[in-house]
Amino acid sequence: MLALHYLLYSKNKIHDTLVWGVEGTDWVKNEDGTGAYPQGAESAEYHMADFLFGDQLTITPWQGSGADLREQQAARNMEVQTSKYIGFSIDNTKVANQVTACQSVANEYKPMLSAGVYGTDTEAKYEEFMAALERAGMKEILAEYQSQLDDWLAAQ
């Protein structure tokens, strides 16, 4: 399994095969270094989204996206600012009962609200859902989480 991990995060033909299929059958490499369907084909039996496997920056970019797409993506990645919250995690110990109660409320209401089955009653059911979360201890959870975050930020 570890060997597969190394293959997925190193530059190799496996990336292109996983994403675009068999070279020469499902796709071809153009002179500019981009991938395309073989001549006369408008699609292929196998074709995936390039961000699903390994390191996207090592995958041959698709025709129309530009041969320098991966270089552009790498440059944009270097500009990303890191969140100041990386490394913070919640300790639910003090609000474990409230978390469990809120999860039960969510399990009761969320599937139906998400599916939109309440029709014209959706707004009323949503308000009922929010009230049930409040009764279950949502405000206590939020206060505890905020307190932990404030303490963590002060210690940084």
- pLDDT tens digits for range 39-86: 988 888 888 888 887 788 989 999 999 999 999 999 999 999 999 999
Flag whether pLDDT at 155 surpasses 90: yes
Q: Compute CA distances 101 → 53, 108, 114, whole Å.
A: 38, 11, 20
Q: Is the Cα torsion angle 65, 67, 73, 76 positive or negative in sign?
A: negative
Q: What is the pLDDT of residue 43?
A: 85
Task: In whole angstroms, give the CA distance from residue 71 to residue 59.
Answer: 11
**Averaged pLDDT of the chain:** 91
Q: What is the pLDDT of residue 2?
A: 65
Flag whether pLDDT at 10 surpasses 80: no
In the predicted model, what is the mean pLDDT of residues 13-38?
Answer: 92
Q: What is the pLDDT of residue 130?
A: 98
Q: What 3-state class would DSSP assign to 23?
A: strand
Flag whether pLDDT at 87 surpasses 80: yes
pLDDT-derived band at 135 (thresholds 50, 70, 90) equals very high
Q: What is the pLDDT of residue 52?
A: 85
Contact 38, 25 (CB under 8 A): yes
Stated pTM of the model: 0.58
